Amino acid sequence: MQMFPKFVAFDLETTGLSNAKDEIIEIGAVKFTLEEKNGQIVPKIIKEFQTFVKPNMMIPEEASRVNHITDQMVENAPTIGECLPKFTQFCGQDSILVAHNADFDAGFLRVAYQKNPQLIPANPVIDSLRIVRNIMPELPNHKLGELAMMFKRRNAITMNIAAGEMHRAVYDCEMLMEVLVATLKRRLKTTEWDMSMIMKVLPKYGGEPQYINKGK
């Protein structure tokens, strides 16, 4: 019997683009596995995780314009040191982490864990952006929202895509889950989705893993 792996699609919202000076203000994640329906591999959500994070700085106006998160929204939120253990526990030890442009998200997490010493996840982290660029290089745009809308037009995903919801962490994670599976279905055989095969197959399509607990 085929055993499907567990994935955690995760997304961070931050005060800016530099993990050296900016901070995480929201963590969202969706843990999912796969199932076979009508001969098709489709994602199956297990659980979701979301928390605002109180940063040690004011949120710049330009960041709020993108992610719609304000200082008032994070005023009573837990600190990153309080949020990380919950995120680690949510991920578990047996899941494959996925982020769209993983260098950005994994980089911010790596700095956060270093500044708040504790157990650092040893899970592999794969970059869905590299996978999409590898499998569909002909596309003019590889942004997550654009990919989700394209797959929706092709009836390759079932979730409703609303532009106004984008750049909120859990919603982006659900889009990421759908886009990853829809993209990989173009290349993977059913047997290659098995947990014993998946990490051997992904590097062929740009899914070479990195690790939060190892320097980049």
The Cβ of residue 14 has, within 10 Å, a number of other Cβ atoms equal to: 22
Given the residues 68, 100, 142, 167, select the one marked as catalytic: 167
Size of the chain, expressed as the number of residues it contains = 216
Query: In sequence order, what DSSP letters do the residues of 139-204 get, joined into one string?
Result: -S---HHHHHHHHHHTT---S---GGGTTSHHHHHHHHHHHHHHHHTTT--GGGGSTTTHHHHGGG
Cα–Cα distance for residue pair 165/14, rounded to 1 Å: 17
Could you tell me the sign of the dihedral formed by the alpha carbons of 20, 144, 130, 80, in that order? positive
Element (H, E) at 28: strand 24-37
Cα–Cα distance for residue pair 189/182, rounded to 1 Å: 13
Give the end-to-end CA distance of the chain in Å, rounded to a whole number.
37
C-alpha pair distances (Å), 145 with each of 93, 141, 181, 189, 209: 29, 10, 15, 26, 23
Is 142 known to be catalytic? no
Active site residues: 167
